Structure 1
Amino acid sequence: MSAPPVSARDTLVKRALGGHAAIGLLASALIYIICLSGTLIVIHDRWQRWEQPDVPEMTALSPAAVQTAISAALAREAGKPATTHLYVRLPSAEMPRATVTTDSGGWYVDASGRIAAREAHGWTDFMVAMHEYLHLPMTWGMILVGALGVMLCALVTTGVLAHPRIVRDAFSLRTRHDPQLARADWHNRLGVWTLPFVLAVALTGAFIGLGSVGTTMLAKAYTGGDLLKVYANIFGHEPPSNPARAPIADAAAAMRTLEARVPGAAPTYVIVHEPLTAGQHVQILVAHPRRLIYGESYFFDRTGAFHSKAGLSDGAIGQQVAASSYNLHFGNFAGLPVEIAYMLMGLALCAITATGNSLWLEKRRRRGLGGERLRAGWNMTVWGTATLMVWAIWARALLGTEAPLALGFLSAFAAAVLVAVLYPRVADATALRRVCAGSILLTAIGHLALVRPAIAEPVVIDLIAIGLSVPLLLWSVRARGGRERAGLNADPTPA
């Protein structure tokens, strides 16, 4: 009897599934790290308050206070190389604090503009850099992260093509069947439910990460290699430089001019370009709450007279799309509800990534192809990454601002995966889950006990962490006890 003919759809599904597995195996570890760090930094402003809960807070900063903050920051720059940009971040409902930042550091200021404390949220900065460029040299790291965004888009596309009934089965969960089947159902269902989110995040991430490549190509083709001319078409043209010394720009006058021209404007940043030079100018970024754009830029000369605006809110459609990609990627719009939604969908994407590799590894095991070492390495990647991110908080607290968090994390991660591959028994998934849950629980309790936050938001974060870690810890303990009663010494399935 001859074999039944293979249909074109079956061929497409088989090829899509093969491509899906190949891309996932090639990039899964890095995609997982980026997804997990991205999930956490959705609330990076709130993490900054968690790290430094005793900083002065306010609802607004007057133009005079902004000018005072600029002068105070520049006074601290005496004897250092001239700063090229100075940023004053104004308080908002999400972040009721004001900061002033130069090329050499940043400070919190009080309501009058006086320096109150040094910025010391090194763990938050470490996590942001992890997500944006994996602590590689920035340009190359962002290119790699952008390329991983393209791979994530390819994973989504091949995943949909590999499951022709994916929409029909969107609400079919066989959790009481074979664990491998249940894991596959969760992988597929979460993939369907988060499909719009994953596409939006992956496409904007690729756009942001690979933007430098496209800009370089455009500059070589049209502006003789001048990158600033390319960026000016999107973010606005700046006046020519003049390095001659001059008094500090009048940012307070610029803020008053803005209020007169745009009544009710809500500035988020005041930026002085090339301060203390004759060519300095002031840029004020204004929020547009009902728009996806990160803001509109208004430019003023050093006396505070209006010069121009970038057009991010009403300019060419390409400008508006470019200005909207950042908020769409990071979830910086519509406040806390969107942040919560982004974090939940980010966790779902982490689960999709983790179960995808687990499915492939378990399939190899059932076929008698081994892969125990690979399975142990993947267990360590999934749970070790989260644990090391938590331990970085303790490293930052114990070693201070000079703690080499990036080097420590990357070294510890590489060593942990290597040990897991060489000695698979140490990478028992249940034990690793227990360590991760225990680390989160201990960190939250320690933060409450040692730091004693005086504001509510850090306390809420600690309570949520406790509420999530306790069930995870109990689940791990129960799973371990069940396996021991069954006479098993190791977790038979991956993470």
Structure 2
Amino acid sequence: MKIRSDIIKVYKDVHIWIGIASGLMLFIAFYAGAITMFEKPLERWATPPSTLSAAPPLERADALVEAVLAAHPQAAARYFVSVQPAADQPARVYWQERGKGRREFKEYGASFAADGSLQVEQTRKAPVAQLVDTLHQLVGLPFPDAVARPIMGAVALAYAVALVSGLIVLLPTIARDVFALRIGKNIKRLWLDVHNALGLFSLPFHVVIALTSVVFAFHDQFYDAQDAVVYPNGIQWGGHEDAPAGGRVLLAAELLRRVEVQLPGFEVYGFGFQRDQEGHVEASVSGLDVRRGTRARTYMQTHLDPYTGEVDPHDLPGRMEGWDEAVNAFFALHFGSFGGNPVRWLYLLMGLAGAVLFYSGNLLWVESRRRKRKGAETPVQKRSAWALACLTVGVSLGCVAGISATLAAAKWLPALVGDLKAWHTGIYYAVFVAAVAWAFARGASRGAVELLVASAVLTLLIPLSSLAGHWNIGGTWSHPGSWPVDATALLAVPVLLYLARHTRRRMRQGHNDSVWAQ
């Protein structure tokens, strides 16, 4: 396919400069996003063990609800009965109470003690998994959501333009270069082949992520436009039907039985209830059907009649109306919330490959502007190339090291501090800023080697912290069945050390007129 060289040059410039402007933020979004594919296992791994007694059988859940409402009447406004208690959600009944702040809510869980008395505990769900997800959503920016989200939307739009312009640049040589991976002394050529191959073969994935990210960033504006055009008089919600005369809310075990009959293949996680001032109860059921994608990352939810057990399935994927099904598809494609763990692992690998794509793009820009050696004197490299090389190393490896550091701290902080969220956020950004400063102080090449080694050490601390939990050292703990998180971190350590070794070799044996030279 032939395209005029001047047109190729325009699109190449667009691709390069958009990539430079947004590549580092996209690296953080993709690296953190890859980790969030297993947000729930990570949350279970990081949540301290509960002091509550084991959750009573589901058949006794209604007695527990009555005890909770008698002791805490405010819980009647909204409470949740869990069908599948787990390490991060060990109680059978949960509810929220308003805290001191306007938007501050505290969540509590309840169980029965051995003597039958009511036990209540404020939940201790670890915030570190949510921090990683927030880094992903806001491309690592430490700003309020209202400020960072529009920036993320602009980055996503630029990202989509970079995808199109990159494809146009590649079209004339696609037949020759698509399967090429020229390994040799020309490191720049190798990186270009890797960059092109990753970009082309993962193009559908990147298009989906770019478009859905735009929807997430500007969803308020989209919904406002929808309200003005589709629902000019507002959405007319039907009121609830009156409870049947003498009707009582069905027992949780009976609700579970009726839901399973109506929704075969739907794994029920729990039931949510809320009671109005007149005493009428409304309910919902949450769970997951892995055969369907969902707009929430890890669950689906729909309405349920608590008096009859009848499910209203219109909010469930596969049973929605056309517009709602289309919106749900956007969320499901972005989250990879379909097909179970095989799709999650695929998205994780694609996310890491995306991070490499942005990292390699910056490397190519730096190398393309290298002042080559002529004669005996080694030239001084451009300040812009040196600065971008340091930024690329500092931001990318600062993100890797910062996430590993704050994850490793998850086992130690609950016994030492009160505000876990603030400490996890502080640890991440302290390591991140230190890594960027280190890269500028040491230079791109030395900084990359040292920060890769540091990232490997911090990542190794994740399973070592769990190992400390086996002996309850310093208040740490270890949940049964949490080994996949530790095993994944352990597998990442030799990868980071290999990259450090390869970078050191390139520093010593590569072009001595490069910013990557020793």
Normalised TM-score (structure 1): 0.79
Instruction: Name the amino acid aligned to 2:460.
Output: L
Corresponding position: 1:428 with 2:447? yes
Mapped to 2, the partners of 1:381 and 1:348 lie a distance apart of 17
Instruction: Name the amino acid aligned to 1:310.
Output: H
Deviation at 1:67, TM superposition (A): 4.2
Q: Name which of 322, 325, 332 aligns with 1:327.
A: 332
Deviation at 1:388, TM superposition (A): 0.9
Q: Aligned Cα RMSD in Å?
A: 4.3
Corresponding position: 1:47 with 2:42? yes
Which residue of structure 2 aligns with residue 20 of structure 1? 15
Identity of aligned residues (%): 20
Which residue of structure 1 aligns with residue 137 of structure 2? 132
C-alpha spacing 1:238/1:130, structure 2 compared with 1 (3 Å)? farther
Which residue of structure 2 aligns with residue 239 of structure 1? 239
Q: Secondary structure at the match of 2:4?
A: helix
Which residue of structure 2 aligns with residue 3 of structure 1? none
Corresponding position: 1:118 with 2:113? no
Which residue of structure 1 aligns with residue 167 of structure 2? 160
Deviations 1:231-260 (A, max 9, x none): x8xxxx463799xxxx99767365455356
Q: Name which of 206, 220, 223 aligns with 1:212.
A: 220
Q: Name which of 337, 343, 349 aligns with 2:354.
A: 349
Mapped to 1, the partners of 2:220 and 2:383 lie a distance apart of 42
Q: Secondary structure at the match of 2:185?
A: coil
Normalised TM-score (structure 2): 0.75
Mapped to 1, the partners of 2:365 and 2:389 lie a distance apart of 10
Q: Secondary structure at the match of 2:161?
A: helix
Mapped to 2, the partners of 1:204 and 1:94 lie a distance apart of 32
Which residue of structure 1 aligns with residue 383 of structure 2? 370
Which residue of structure 1 aligns with residue 100 of structure 2? none
Instruction: Name the amino acid aligned to 1:91.
Output: Q
Q: Secondary structure at the match of 2:285?
A: strand
Deviation at 1:336, TM superposition (A): 2.1
Instruction: Name the amino acid aligned to 1:360.
Output: W
Which residue of structure 2 aligns with residue 463 of structure 1? 487
Which residue of structure 1 aligns with residue 101 of structure 2? none
Range moving further from structure 2, 480-489 or 383-392: 480-489
Corresponding position: 1:282 with 2:283? yes
Q: Name which of 196, 203, 207 aligns with 2:204.
A: 196
Q: Name which of 390, 397, 400 aligns with 1:383.
A: 397
Deviations 1:97-116 (A, max 9, x none): 67755443446677999768
Mapped to 2, the partners of 1:98 and 1:195 lie a distance apart of 44
Deviation at 1:456, TM superposition (A): 5.8
CA contact under 8 A between 1:100 and 1:106: conserved in structure 2?
Answer: no
Q: Secondary structure at the match of 2:292?
A: coil
Deviations 1:335-358 (A, max 9, x none): 222221111111100100111112
Deviations 1:33-57 (A, max 9, x none): 1111100010011112221385699
Corresponding position: 1:91 with 2:114? no
Range moving further from structure 2, 325-334 or 361-370: 361-370
Deviation at 1:171, TM superposition (A): 2.0
C-alpha spacing 1:114/1:149, structure 2 compared with 1 (3 Å)? farther
Instruction: Name the amino acid aligned to 1:185.
Output: D
CA contact under 8 A between 2:391 and 2:439: conserved in structure 1?
Answer: yes
Range moving further from structure 2, 268-277 or 153-162: 268-277
Q: Name which of 164, 183, 186 aligns with 1:175.
A: 183
Deviations 1:263-318 (A, max 9, x none): 66533342334666646511223533322245765424564564844254223222
Q: Secondary structure at the match of 1:284?
A: strand
C-alpha spacing 1:478/1:181, structure 2 compared with 1 (3 Å)? closer
Corresponding position: 1:402 with 2:419? yes
C-alpha spacing 1:490/1:14, structure 2 compared with 1 (3 Å)? closer
Mapping of 1:291-330 within 5 angstroms?
291-293=292-294, 297-301=301-305, 303=307, 306=310, 308-312=312-316, 313-330=318-335
Aligned residues: 472
CA contact under 8 A between 1:448 and 1:462: conserved in structure 2?
Answer: no
Which residue of structure 1 aligns with residue 459 of structure 2? 440
C-alpha spacing 1:296/1:124, structure 2 compared with 1 (3 Å)? closer
CA contact under 8 A between 1:254 and 1:300: conserved in structure 2?
Answer: no
Mapped to 2, the partners of 1:195 and 1:487 lie a distance apart of 32
Mapped to 2, the partners of 1:481 and 1:261 lie a distance apart of 62
Range moving further from structure 2, 23-32 or 424-433: 424-433
Deviation at 1:449, TM superposition (A): 3.0
CA contact under 8 A between 1:56 and 1:110: conserved in structure 2?
Answer: no
Deviation at 1:158, TM superposition (A): 1.6
Range moving further from structure 2, 427-436 or 84-93: 84-93
Deviation at 1:322, TM superposition (A): 1.7
Deviation at 1:492, TM superposition (A): 0.9
Deviations 1:357-392 (A, max 9, x none): 121122223375332122112210010111011111
Q: Secondary structure at the match of 1:359?
A: helix
Mapped to 2, the partners of 1:223 and 1:182 lie a distance apart of 54
Mapped to 1, the partners of 2:76 and 2:260 lie a distance apart of 28
Corresponding position: 1:492 with 2:516? yes
Q: Secondary structure at the match of 2:383?
A: coil
Instruction: Name the amino acid aligned to 1:402.
Output: D
Range moving further from structure 2, 178-187 or 415-424: 415-424
Mapped to 1, the partners of 2:193 and 2:392 lie a distance apart of 20
